[in-house]
Chains A and B, each alone.
Chain A
């Protein structure tokens, strides 16, 4: 292409490239901002995301009261200051007291920082490079605070000792081998699946036991009714409880005429004065007696305050509607 023609095209193409560049920058920016919002929304739906459990305060003070739950992430520092991952402003706790990190197999590793002391499951640890592993339910004492670790779902089996674990059976002959086939091999999730499989198996067994006396209807019983009737017992019919309340000869089904003296016995007997709401007093306002006092109201009580209200009501509203 001749240089002159190329130059004209290149000069024109500048605007095309600039337009595309603006589009690229704008779309990148939009993508970035939208992605951030989407991520935040997603995290709102997963309040436990990023946390492996919580430390429940079993002994605290006025600042951090007993029962307070402190979220624990995978790694971080526990200390007095607010910029720590777990802030515990209680006496005896240093600004940065201990460092913790979560391990899928061993549980939550806690290590006091230089010169600090902690008590983990009764074991006293002082200084750097001394560490202990906490499992679900482990206790931790830091300064004046006593804490108990509660792992979240999916992590609660990390750090369990072998003695407390359910039998790990992965052989082909195992009744849960099929259920575990293809499952992920992370310990906590693995344990979760194992327990779920064992529970499912137990439920199946329980179901089998429950239905043992009532096997499926088959040819064994021939044309007989199922379950087989017992000759020594009379036929029993089931009535729902509400039907038992009413007999066949219920007298309410056939009321006597109104002029029959027996009808009075069917009339509702009011043992208490009838309550009339205030609007009904319009037609028959209470009248003062010879002493100028009003009779006790049926619906406001007889105490003085209520009486005063009644007087005011009748005086200013004439016992009638509000104007």
Chain B
């Protein structure tokens, strides 16, 4: 066997190609199928070509420029593309245009991811940047208090020139950067001030789901940084106490808990969404009703909160369980990257991203499955929403940047330990 044919064979056997080829095949066939529903939909054919191409670019082409974790990229891109597919399939039922918009956001998300990778990879000294980021983030998260629009009960949206955005989603990236920097420098007070400020503003905006995610992320980061179990326990107890206080103090919290316990009590009104989600999952059965079939649009806010129920209805419960496995692998991979980081800032950053994505997934899917009370957060990568998707891709970019630095470090160690001083074989200098 010649050398070139062996090389080609090894390429075919490489795990990244094997996985990405299946993902591309999945979306190509799915978009092709949905494009044939009723009349021929040219948008479906375009998506059948564009989405696999985006997946290929983001997972196979981008890593040519820097070391990257292709598994992470593959999973994140798979979930993003799944969101586009499901939204496009519901568009054909209801006549909306969420799918194409989500595809555009997906492209923007890839750019955001690229920016975040470069930030983590090439910024050596964060000291100046962190203060700028902290001030900007504090201003941005407070903007809805002055110019905010109330959507779905929370005043956490701002509309600029017809484009609505959710600052709390964008601030997630800044929140993690600032917290991780201060904790890595062992400066507790700036860390506390920034965390309390962000959570206080979110509470004022009645964005309870996001506030919960911020809070638990901050506490877990504190534990990851200091290992102080007592303070962490006190923090968690404080959070639980606040939840109990909120239950007795605010009527809407009490109502939400009541709906969670028994949605059929007020099926026509407040319990309608949960009841419909449960019915959608049940009607999908093990194998689903088929792509583009069923009535998922009956569920209120099906494109944001209830997207997991829509997936289960169309593809089945087994498919839904496999989606959860994909999220689990994503989280495990994030923890693996965090564990292998050489610098505390990078380690905390990777751990923060992992915790935040994991929590968000748990909160929304747990809410859909009636495991916990439903809160209005998005399902990472899948739910409709430009800000959310771009923010999640940015978080993946941070994680990817840390993974990239880890690989550089390992290569550096290898070069130094093997005393390789050749110009071509020397790695990039390790970052600070």
Contact = CB atoms under 8 A, between A and B. Distances in A.
Interface of A: 1, 3, 6-7, 9-11, 13-18, 20-25, 27-32, 34-36, 39, 42, 46, 48-50, 73-75, 83, 99, 101, 103-104, 152-154, 182-186, 189, 192-193, 196
A154 B412 CA distance: 9
Given A27-B15, A184-B426, A18 B287 contact: yes
Contacts of B256: none
B423 A21 contact: no
A104 B432 CA distance: 8
Given A17-B319, A31-B15, A31-B16, 9 more contacts: A3-B37, A6-B36, A13-B291, A23-B22, A28-B329, A32-B336, A103-B432, A184-B428, A189-B429
Contact of B22 (A24, A39, A104): A24
B19 interface: yes
A27 B19 CA distance: 6
A99 B417 CA distance: 27
Contacts of B15: 27, 30-31, 34
Nearest to B412: A154
B344 A46 contact: no
Given A6-B292, A49-B410, A21 B329 contact: no
Contacts of A104: 429-430, 432
B430 A35 contact: no
A27 B18 contact: yes
Interface string B174-196: 00000000001010000000000
Contact of A17 (B19, B315, B412, B430): B315
24 contacts: A6-B38, A7-B290, A10-B290, A10-B291, A13-B29, A13-B291, A14-B287, A16-B29, A17-B26, A17-B315, A18-B319, A20-B26, A21-B315, A23-B22, A27-B18, A35-B71, A46-B413, A48-B413, A49-B413, A49-B414, A83-B227, A101-B344, A184-B429, A186-B429
Interface string B78-112: 10000000000000000000000000000000000
Contact of A50 (B316, B413, B419): B413
A21 B315 CA distance: 10
A1 B37 contact: yes
A42 B329 contact: no
Contacts of B75: 28
Nearest to A8: B290
A193 B421 contact: yes
Interface of B: 15-16, 18-19, 22-23, 25-26, 29-30, 33, 36-38, 40, 71, 74-75, 78, 184, 186, 227, 287-288, 290-293, 315-316, 318-319, 322-323, 325-326, 329, 332-333, 336, 340, 342-344, 409-410, 412-414, 416-417, 419, 421, 423, 426-430, 432
Contacts of B25: 20
Contacts of A32: 71, 329, 332-333, 336
Contacts of A183: 423, 426
Contact of A186 (B292, B316, B430): B430
B48 to A, nearest CB: 14
Chain B CB within 10 Å, residue with most, of A39, A74, A153: A74
In this complex, which of A3, A23, A192 has the most chain B Cβ atoms within 10 angstroms of its Cβ?
Answer: A23
B290 A13 contact: yes
Nearest to A3: B38
Nearest to A34: B15
Contact of A20 (B22, B333, B416): B22
